[in-house]
Structure 1
Amino acid sequence: MEATTFGDVWQEAFSVQTPPATWLIIATGVAALIVVVTRGPWRIARNVVTIAHEGGHAIMALLSGRQLTGIRLHSDTSGVTVSRGKPRGAGMILTVAAGYITPSIVGLLAILLLVNNRITALLWMSILVLAAMLLLIRNVYGVVSVVGTGAVVFLISWFTPEQVQAVFAYFFTWFLLLAGVRPVVELQSQRGRQPSPQSDADQLHRLTGLPGLVWVLFFGLVNVAVAAAGIWLLMF
């Protein structure tokens, strides 16, 4: 980014950029899919999914009038978002239900910026969201995870040419869009091997009376539908 004043930075960040060639958009999608299905890369990249997941809980807690206490991210790629308020009711249900569907929805929202060629805007908005989330992090690993992710996005947006930013933005968006499905599969697999009353699906079972499997299917169907919509927007 060549801007020197705040006004220049603002103007450049929200200007219209040239999208990459169609083959590059497809290539970034294939690369993102490889990361999602490959064990090693997924183990590292899943931290980004956890950030989005816990961010979904946090945003819905605030929107539903709950008092947000903090967020903790762990090295095993799990996370916890703590809020205060009524232990039951619509606000609590929406807060718990938001986590697993947030990564895919964030990916879909990012696509709306990409199809309008607001590539740098997407990167800078991601940095602002991560900065806001950092204020809520309550453990060292969480701080390292959020700062590290934000640093990568910042370095790409500030020091690389427009085409590199575009490729990164499309890869990042594809990843969020496609990555939402795998954690749902992992959730049900974990529920089968070692049931946990603290999983989102089982918490929702206690809150609503609906079986945990119903909520797992809900998460999966939403994420598959959102991914399908995102693919259609990107490719057609």
Structure 2
Amino acid sequence: MDLSTLGDVWHDVVGTQPHPPWWLVTLTGVAALGAVSVRSVWHVLRNVVTIAHEGGHAVAALVTGRQLHSIRLHSDTSGVTVSSGKPYGPGMILTAFAGYVTPPLLGLGAAGLLAVGHITALLWGGILLLAAILILIRNMYGVLSVVTTGAVFFVVSWFGSSTVQAAFAYAFTWFLLLAGARPVLELQSKRARGRAPDSDADQLARLTGMPGLMWVFGFGIVAVVALVAGGVWLLPSSLPQLPNW
């Protein structure tokens, strides 16, 4: 993106960009599916999901009046968000629930932006969200993960051509939508083997008295609904039109 002033940046952020061709939207979706499916690629890109997950906990804590202290991201793609306040009640329940549903909901929001042509707004919105999370990070690996992700967004938004920006924005959105379900499946797999006694679902079970499996199911429902709705928003305007015989 060849911009020389902040005014130019702002103009692109508030303006709209043309929808990319259907083949690019489809190709980025296939690439995102591959990224979620291939274990070695997923292990690296899962860090992005963890950033969104912990960011969801953080936002929920702030919205419900809890005192937010820190976020830590670890090399095994786990993370911890520390907040203080009542250890029970709606605020704590919402904070615990927010983690797994945030990545697919972010993907749904991103799909909504792309559906109305706000490609640049999506990229710069991602940079701002990452900058806000960076302020709360309290370990070196976490700083490295967030800064690296933010740097990729910045390079694409500042130096990338319109096609590169569109490809990145759609690939990122597809990834968030598709990646929403896999951590939920991984969570239940660990729970079934007794390896996640303090997971978000089990914390919610202790807070509400409802079974942890029910909360896992709830996470999955949100992920599936977001994927279906987001896919509908991304694809219709991009699919090739059948000839009128």
* TM tier, smaller: over 0.9
Query: Cα distance, 1:12 vs. partner?
Result: 2.1
Name the counterpart of 1:148: 148
Give the distance between the partners of 1:122 and 1:196, measured in 2 at CA. 34
- Runs of 4 or more, structure 1, over 4 Å off, are none
Partner of 1:122: 122
Q: In the alignment, is residue 135 of structure 1 matched against residue 135 of structure 2? A: yes
Name the structure 1 match of 2:173.
173
TM-score, normalised with respect to structure 2: 0.94
CA RMSD of aligned residues (A): 0.9
Question: Partners of 2:156 and 2:6 in 1: how far apart?
Answer: 19
1:163 aligns with 2:163: yes
Partner of 2:138, secondary structure, is: coil
Q: Which residue of structure 1 aligns with residue 220 of structure 2?
A: 220
1:209 counterpart residue number: 209
Deviation, structure 1 residue 216 = 0.6
CA contact (8 A) 1:101 1:219 kept: yes
> What SS does structure 2 have at the residue aligned with 1:82?
strand
Partner of residue 53, structure 1: 53
CA distance in 2, matches of 1:80, 1:169: 27
Q: Report whether the alignment pairs 1:81 with 2:81.
A: yes
Deviations 1:13-36 (A, max 9, x none): 322112210111011011101110
> Is the 1:28–1:174 contact (alpha carbons within 8 Å) kept by the matching residues of 2?
yes
Instruction: Specify the code of the residue in structure 1 equivalent to 2:17.
Output: Q
Question: How far is the alpha carbon of 1:2 from its aligned partner?
Answer: 2.1
SS at match of 2:72: strand
Give the match's secondary structure for 2:15.
Answer: coil
Query: Shift of the alpha carbon at 1:52?
Result: 0.4
1: distance between equivalents of 2:61 and 2:194? Answer: 28
Report if the CA contact (8 A) 1:33-1:178 is conserved: yes
Instruction: Quote the Cα distance in structure 1 between the aligned partners of 2:85 and 2:197.
Output: 20
CA contact (8 A) 2:177 2:230 kept: yes
CA contact (8 A) 1:72 1:139 kept: yes
- Corresponding residue SS for 2:62: helix
Structure 1 residue 209 displacement after superposition: 0.4
CA contact (8 A) 2:191 2:197 kept: no
Distance 1:157 1:187 in 2: 34
Number of residues of Structure 1 aligned to a counterpart in Structure 2:
236
| Cα distance in 2 for residues equivalent to 1:83 and 1:144 | 22
TM-score normalised to the size of structure 1?
A: 0.98
Task: Note if contact 1:72-1:142 (Cα within 8 Å) is conserved in structure 2.
Answer: yes
Amino acid of the structure 1 residue aligned with 2:118? R
Q: 1:3, 1:12 within 8 Å by CA — same for their partners in 2?
A: no
What runs of 5+ residues in structure 2 fail to find an aligned partner?
A: 237-245
Q: Return the alpha-carbon distance in structure 2 between the equivalents of residues 87 and 111 of structure 1.
A: 35
Asked whether the 8 Å contact 1:111–1:234 carries over to 2, the reply is: yes
For 2:170 and 2:114, the matched residues in 1 are separated by 8
What is the letter of the counterpart of residue 131 of structure 1?
A: A
Residue number in structure 2 paired with 1:110: 110
CA shift at 1:226, angstroms?
A: 1.1
Question: Distance in 2 between the 1:5 and 1:157 partners?
Answer: 14
Say yes or no: does 1:30 pair with 2:5.
no
Per-residue CA deviation, residues 154-175 of structure 1 (Å, 9 max, x unaligned), is 0011111011100100000000
Gap regions ≥5 residues in structure 1: none
**In structure 2, C-alpha distance between the alignment counterparts of 1:230 and 1:52, rounded to whole Å:** 17
